[in-house]
A and B are shown apart, each in its own frame.
Chain A
Amino acid sequence: MSVAAETPALPSRFLAQKRRFTPQSEGAKGFALISPTFIYAIVLLAVPVLVVIAHSFWTQNYLTIDRSFTLENYRIALTEPIYRDLLMRSLFISFTVTFFTVVLAYPIAYFISFHGGQYKGLYLFLITIPFWTSYLLRVMSWKVILGYQGVLNSGLMATGIIDEPSTALLYNSSAVIITLTHAWATFAILPIYVSLEKVDRTFVEAAKDLGDGPIRSFLRVTLPLSMPGVIAAILVVMIPTVGDFVTPRLVGGKDGVMIANAIQAQFGKGANWPLGAALSVTTMAIVTMAAGLVVLAMRLVQRTIR
């Protein structure tokens, strides 16, 4: 136990005296131990993110960066139709993907937690495996499945369901949504599973004993108690998917392009770092707000169910 935590009310003079006897308090030891990792994260994550935010207020001047403060990049990011449309589409895709992943994931998490029995570990392992394999490869497999001469088309033609390959499968936003829903499945299952594990089974029993049917006891006990997991799943899926650029590039075609592709272009061919930075910051801010709103809405729904 840290000295400081045990004696929070003592004046600092007393603390200083106490420290003399234990030159290195436990708390200081812990802090010293974590500091290499902490410093690494500051130098390679916190500082770079601040640098991006700073860039978003500057201007690209051919090869150099003009460091006078301006909001021009944000004006472009928020009002230019192309970026606005990309942003809206990215948000729409990320909402849809989040909805499907969470709704599809909940029953699995519920099954493993409540009926997994001795196979719980195995089920969890089976579910995590595809997630750990290369994301690029998974997107590629969907391209192979949905392509013009791909698995689905050739399979459907071989069985005589369709006569000629359908072009509606690949290179549109539904292809992006399917691929992302698949890619993020595990991410949604695990947090929901963890919170379902924490649900006290006696509460569910009690609800049943007091006359609630299985559906009512689920809606009034299990679901509200597992809400933290659902909320975590929403955050963990929604925020990263909005910034995806591999899936749109490989299976999205022209109307599956997302905001991350525009950001990438600014750091590549477009070579307008400040605009790219402003687009990144805008995307992050908007998706965080959107996720916050969704979480708030979920909490309200939860309260009305009760």
Chain B
Amino acid sequence: MRKGLLKANWLKFYALLYLGFLYLPIIFLPIFSINSSPRPSFPLTGYTTAWYRELIGNQAMLSAAKNSLLVGLGAAIISTAFGICAARALTRYKFRGQKPIAGLIMAPLVLPEIIVAISMLLVILQLGLQLSLLTILLGHVLICLPYSMTVLMSGFEGFDRSLEEASADLGESAFGTFRRVTLPMVMPAIIASMLVSFTISLDEFILAFFLSGTETTLPIYIWGQLRFAARLPAVLALGTILLVASFILLTLAEIFRRRASRTIGNTSGGLIA
């Protein structure tokens, strides 16, 4: 027993070290975003909010932010809507071709993003379509789908159909049953899926880079700024804001996902797991 405990302690130490390795690089962004020296290096020179103030009046950044919000909202709604159909079909019904169909929808998860990006680019250019925010949106929906579907499936799995039947037996119409029984039970999963998709779209770079026209999103804006060393502190400030936003959204998503699992009494499954 003692020996097992000792081993657990070593593993715990390693786990903490590993978490440090995961978080260390990310922690430097906020630190240097409030450091007065424009160069990100130690020792720190003093506290400043100058880099954040620089962002406020920056028109290019603001319009990129607006575009990112638009694309993110669109991707969240559309991929969740598609995800609901797919997740419901896969958890509720059994049909031929279930596995290959699910495989195709999940494929973007294991394909290099550049392959997905250039494939879509080729088709769009061949069809003579203009690259725009819409084309970025189309791409983002595609890569959000695997995550939406996974989150929704963990919410739908173990869904007790007898509740719906009971509601119908007690005289509710099909729509009433959906609104008063089904929807409240799956709502947390739907919200979690929307939050996750929104965050992915907000942070996504490679597809946006290939599929964008004249209008940019925030990651593309950041990419453009990285060439100029003088702009780095402002980029760090912007990065920090994005980091905090992602963190808040994901924490919310996790809370909703857990609530979804609890309502249905299913305790398994993480965001990807």
- Listed in ascending order, the chain A residues whose CB lies under 8 Å from chain B are 1-2, 4-5, 26-31, 33-34, 36-38, 40-42, 44-49, 51-52, 55, 104, 107-108, 110-112, 114-115, 121, 123-130, 132-138, 140-142, 144-145, 147, 149-151, 153-155, 158, 182, 185-186, 190-191, 193-194, 214, 235-236, 239-246, 250, 260, 263-264, 267, 273, 276-277, 280, 283-284
What is the chain A residue whose CB lies nearest that of B203? A134
Closest 4 CB pairs of A and B: A243-B112, A30-B93, A48-B119, A134-B203
Please report the number of residue pairs spanning A and B whose Cβ atoms sit closer than 8 angstroms. Answer: 262
CA A52 – CA B88 in complex, angstroms? Answer: 32
Contacts of A40 in B (CB 8 A): 82, 141-142, 145
Is the pair A37, B82 in contact by a Cβ cutoff of 8 Å?
A: yes
- Contacts A26-B94, A41-B107, A245-B206 hold; do A264 and B114 have CB atoms under 8 A apart? yes
- B252 beta carbon closer than 8 Å to chain A: no
Chain A nearest CB, measured from B241 CB (Å): 11
- Contacts A49-B119, A115-B8 hold; do A240 and B41 have CB atoms under 8 A apart? no
Is the pair B113, A130 in contact by a Cβ cutoff of 8 Å?
A: no
Is the pair B12, A115 in contact by a Cβ cutoff of 8 Å?
A: yes
| Contact with A185, one of B22, B43, B101 (Cβ below 8 angstroms) | B22
Is the pair A154, B25 in contact by a Cβ cutoff of 8 Å?
A: no
CA A194 – CA B269 in complex, angstroms? Answer: 8
Is the pair A144, B123 in contact by a Cβ cutoff of 8 Å?
A: no
CA A128 – CA B121 in complex, angstroms? Answer: 30
Please, could you name 13 A-B residue pairs with CB atoms under 8 Å apart, sorted by A? Answer: A26-B95, A27-B96, A31-B89, A31-B95, A41-B104, A41-B107, A121-B258, A128-B250, A137-B203, A138-B25, A144-B236, A185-B21, A284-B112
Is the pair B22, A130 in contact by a Cβ cutoff of 8 Å?
A: yes
| Contact with A133, one of B12, B26, B115 (Cβ below 8 angstroms) | B26
Is the pair B107, A48 in contact by a Cβ cutoff of 8 Å?
A: no
CA A131 – CA B75 in complex, angstroms? Answer: 19
Is the pair A134, B110 in contact by a Cβ cutoff of 8 Å?
A: no
Contacts of A145 in B (CB 8 A): 24-25, 28
Q: How many residues of B contact A (CB 8 A)?
A: 90
Is the pair B42, A135 in contact by a Cβ cutoff of 8 Å?
A: no
Contacts of B206 in A (CB 8 A): 245-246
Chain B nearest CB, measured from A291 CB (Å): 10
Scoring B15, B92, B96 by chain A CB atoms within 10 A of each residue's CB, the highest score goes to B15
- Listed in ascending order, the chain B residues whose CB lies under 8 Å from chain A are 3-4, 7-8, 11-12, 14-15, 18-19, 21-26, 28-29, 32, 39-43, 82-83, 85-86, 88-90, 92-98, 101, 104-105, 107-116, 118-123, 126, 138-139, 141-142, 145, 149, 196, 199-200, 202-203, 205-206, 210, 219, 222-223, 226, 235-236, 239, 242-243, 246-247, 250, 254, 258, 270-273
Is the pair A136, B205 in contact by a Cβ cutoff of 8 Å?
A: yes
Is the pair A136, B115 in contact by a Cβ cutoff of 8 Å?
A: no
| Contact with A250, one of B105, B113, B226 (Cβ below 8 angstroms) | B226
Is the pair B122, A133 in contact by a Cβ cutoff of 8 Å?
A: no
Scoring A1, A114, A144 by chain B CB atoms within 10 A of each residue's CB, the highest score goes to A144
Contacts of B97 in A (CB 8 A): 31
Interface of A, helix, strand, loop or mixed by DSSP: helix
CA A155 – CA B250 in complex, angstroms? Answer: 32
Is the pair B105, A38 in contact by a Cβ cutoff of 8 Å?
A: yes
Is the pair B219, A136 in contact by a Cβ cutoff of 8 Å?
A: yes
CA A128 – CA B257 in complex, angstroms? Answer: 14
